[in-house]
Amino acid sequence: MKEIINAQRNFFNTHATKDIQFRRAQLKKLQQALEQNEKLLHEAIYKDFKKSEFDNYSTELSLLYKDIKEAQKMIYKWARKESVPTGILNFPASSYIIPEPLGVSLVIGAWNYPYQLSFAPAIAAIAAGNTVILKPSELPTNTAAAMAKIVKENFDPAFFTVVEGGVEETQELLKQKFDKIFFTGSTTVGKIVYKAAAENLTPVTLELGGKSPAIVTENCNLKVSVKRLVWGKFLNSGQTCIAPDYVLVHNSIEQRFLNQLKIEIESQHFAFENDNFLQIINNKNFDRLVKMLDPQKIFYGGETNRESRYIQPTVMQNVNFDDVVMQEEIFGPILPVITYETIEEAIVKVNSLPKPLSCYVFTKSNAIKKKVLKEISFGGGAINETVMHITNENLPFGGVGFSGIGNYHGEAGFKAFTHYKSIMDKPTWFDPFIKYYPHTNFRLKLMRWIMKL
């Protein structure tokens, strides 16, 4: 690992990555490599957890193509020197900010959207002029191998390489010195990464998880709200960091809401056989999820099959905050429904848990929308929608508190891998005496006058 990092550091020190044309060429190469290997990528992810070609394209590859296109288009603007005002105190001078790449970056990916969560930060790192060591999650073994193969065939490892491996390899990597660490995964491992980064004062971006609530008010458009909720919850079999984890519904519409959930789940044909629903990633997660199912509280679904790692889309009712299902992020196809009486009560309940990655509100009321946005702190979210905010590259994506540090996507991704170097540039033809010794009363008076200007 030391060798790889040294090679990347030496390459970074040639300053080749500072050239915008170089960065654009690498991005183009990645785009072509992904396009040419779509079949390999589809087959690998299907083997790992039966992700369909439709889902692989719509939730992984298409977003990466979009990211690359955006970076290629915007890179000159993002990377250019920005002039800023200087002020009378320093007259005559100019001031500007130079975006510079941080250096050798480490990207650690999560398994649930393996291509997207590995390559999207890598695209941002490359656009910003860094070298990249990518450590994808080891859980989907075939996708990790496919990514390693594609990168190896197309890139000089001194610029961009994939290190395969699990916890041990990640910990070994974390002992090394990087200029940036970008981690996507659980809050527990996020803390391990943060501690390791502190040793070298390495800047981090931590994209973590949490329990993202969806609040459904009595005056929402029930049909559309439930349709969007069901889609966002059961997409990827609920293994989505920004999936609505649980629903808080106004008690006056509970029964109508539950009935509509059942109708909508059935109409979206979530079935393993027709590739409309994928597997739970491994037995460990399957067993963890099954423990959350309380037979007394299942309103819909509840069927499980360990051999095929299948859990039917399941709705639980009469849930309270002490239930097992409310003790940790679910990260699977189980939707607990909790009722509330007043919006104040719902907000207090959400705020009793750590700050979530997302929050969703389904309402026609502007007052409630404003109140929720003002009184609940969360990473990002949507009104009358779920998940889709992630697809707008103009919205920085990231968490707050236990759901993460920093953000990315679009220009925010470029910024995550960039240091902004501030420069004051002074000519020598004029050198006012005021700041120099010896200090006199006159100079102090002059100073007071100038500082007030």
Residues that bind ligand NAD (CB under 6 A): 108-112, 117, 135, 137-138, 166-167, 170-171, 184-186, 189, 192, 207-209, 241, 329, 331, 357, 399, 404
**Hey, what amino acid is at 228?**
R
60, 70, 218, 241: the catalytic one is: 241
What are the counts of helices (DSSP H) followed by strands (DSSP E) for the chain?
Answer: 16, 18
Toward ligand NAD, which CB reaches closer, 254 or 411? 411
Q: Are the C-beta atoms of residues 61 and 36 closer than 8 Å to each other?
A: no
Toward ligand NAD, which CB reaches closer, 48 or 207? 207
Q: How far apart are CA 259 and CA 239, in angstroms?
A: 24
Query: Nearest distance from residue 63's CB to ligand NAD, in Å?
Result: 12
Give the largest CA-CA distance in the chain: 87
Query: Nearest distance from residue 241's CB to ligand NAD, in Å?
Result: 3
Query: Nearest distance from residue 136's CB to ligand NAD, in Å?
Result: 7
Q: How far apart are CA 133 and CA 8, in angstroms?
A: 9
Q: Are the C-beta atoms of residues 107 and 131 closer than 8 Å to each other?
A: no
Told to judge if 207 belongs to the known catalytic residues of this protein, a careful annotator would answer: yes
Strand pairing report for 304-305 and 310-311: antiparallel
Toward ligand NAD, which CB reaches closer, 137 or 418? 137
Residue 9: count other Cβ atoms within 10 Å of its Cβ: 16
Q: How far apart are CA 416 and CA 125, in angstroms?
A: 8
Q: How far apart are CA 131 and CA 143, in angstroms?
A: 22
Query: Nearest distance from residue 329's CB to ligand NAD, in Å?
Result: 5
Told to judge if 241 belongs to the known catalytic residues of this protein, a careful annotator would answer: yes
Give the side-chain half-sphere CA count within 13 A for 60: 28
Q: How far apart are CA 230 and CA 285, in angstroms?
A: 21
Residue nearest to ligand NAD (CB): 209
Query: Nearest distance from residue 275's CB to ligand NAD, in Å?
Result: 22
Toward ligand NAD, which CB reaches closer, 115 or 331? 331
Toward ligand NAD, which CB reaches closer, 218 or 245? 245
Please give the positions annotated as active site. 207, 241
